[in-house]
Amino acid sequence: MSHDLTIVELDVDDPAAVDAAYLIGNEAIAADLPDLPPVCRYEHDVRVRVPMPGADRHTFLAYRGAEPVGMVHVDLPVYDNLTKAILDVLVLKRHRRQGVGRALYRHAVDFGLARGRTSAMGFSVFTDRDGAPIGSSAPFAAAVGQENKLVDVRRRLDLSTADDAELDRLLAGSWPKAAGYSVVQWGNLPPEELIEDLAELDSSFLDETPNGDLDYEAEKVDADRLRRASQVRAQYGARRYETGIVHDATGRLVAWTAIRVAKTIDWHAWQLITLVHPGHRGHRLGMIAKVVNLRTLRAQEPAVRMIDTFNAEVNTHMIAINEAMGFRAVDRWANWQASVA
């Protein structure tokens, strides 16, 4: 057991502690996910001081003597999901299997419980695309009583082998089904005239995507919340490429997709949310938004070689679009959850 372990909240004014949090986070990525880039250092340094407004974030470091050996982020959603705590436990490789992970988990659960958080959640890679185990999150989760409630699959588009002619064909084949719709694009800050519609689409995200057995409410996003989130995100230095589709007859925004590139990592991008309003499905708006957005990204970010995205394993419609665009499965991620009351 780790009787000499101390767990303290990250002091953002202590450069050694901010460094340690950066290094511990990256070691876990390098060990289990060597094809992913490290965390952007610029973003890390801003984020420890300016967290996203939707969650109250607390980071705790575990020290053995003076040496930092592990870390847990605890996110407490503040607008909705008020009984949830979202945890990310990370332990340096050479200090694993010595009880550090368990101690950090317990600390985070107790911290959440003291704030009314009776459900603890997490998200981590657990197998490759064929089901062979990756990392130690599955046995660790089992040891602390967490259950896998929903499987997400990470898919990757390798732009060095992307089939541009096929993307052209997909777009040409889609537009005839989308008469009466127009494309609109923006970057880090959404246009004011679309923000109400965007908030409405964003709020519907969790109701409209498969949630498996995960107990998590749809987030209540309003224009103000979206504005604040965009402003904070912009401070992280990442560049966002967003494409929306407007229904010409009503002027309403009915589809939306987003890609982000971190400030200091030029070769990698994340394909984020894609949503089509339920009343406007069947017009290939998801495909059009994604292909058009990808084109913009490629024009603006010629160094990007790899794009990763997550979908619930059962989200057949979105997966069909991604596969048609050339995204291929890489690994499987678990959405862990346990009642800790």
The site for ligand COA (CB under 6 A) is made up of: 28, 32, 88-91, 96-102, 122, 124, 135-137, 139-140, 143
Shortest Å, Cβ 112 to ligand COA: 14
* Residue whose beta carbon is closest to ligand COA: 101
End-to-end CA gap in the chain? 25
> In Å, what is the CA distance from 139 to each residue of 192, 230, 272?
47, 37, 29
Shortest Å, Cβ 5 to ligand COA: 10
> In Å, what is the CA distance from 302 to each residue of 111, 158, 240, 271, 307?
44, 13, 14, 16, 13
Shortest Å, Cβ 189 to ligand COA: 32
20 HSE (CA, 13 A, CB side): 26
User: Token digits for 187?
Assistant: 């970057």
Number of CB atoms found within 10 A of residue 227's CB: 17
Shortest Å, Cβ 308 to ligand COA: 17
Q: Which is nearer to ligand COA, 119 or 296 (CB)?
A: 119
Q: Which is nearer to ligand COA, 98 or 118 (CB)?
A: 98
Q: Which is nearer to ligand COA, 100 or 253 (CB)?
A: 100
**Residue 164, SS3?**
helix
Q: Which is nearer to ligand COA, 8 or 303 (CB)?
A: 8
Shortest Å, Cβ 218 to ligand COA: 23
d(CA 330, CA 251): 39
Q: Which is nearer to ligand COA, 146 or 274 (CB)?
A: 146
Token pair 């609109």 in the structure block, residue: 184
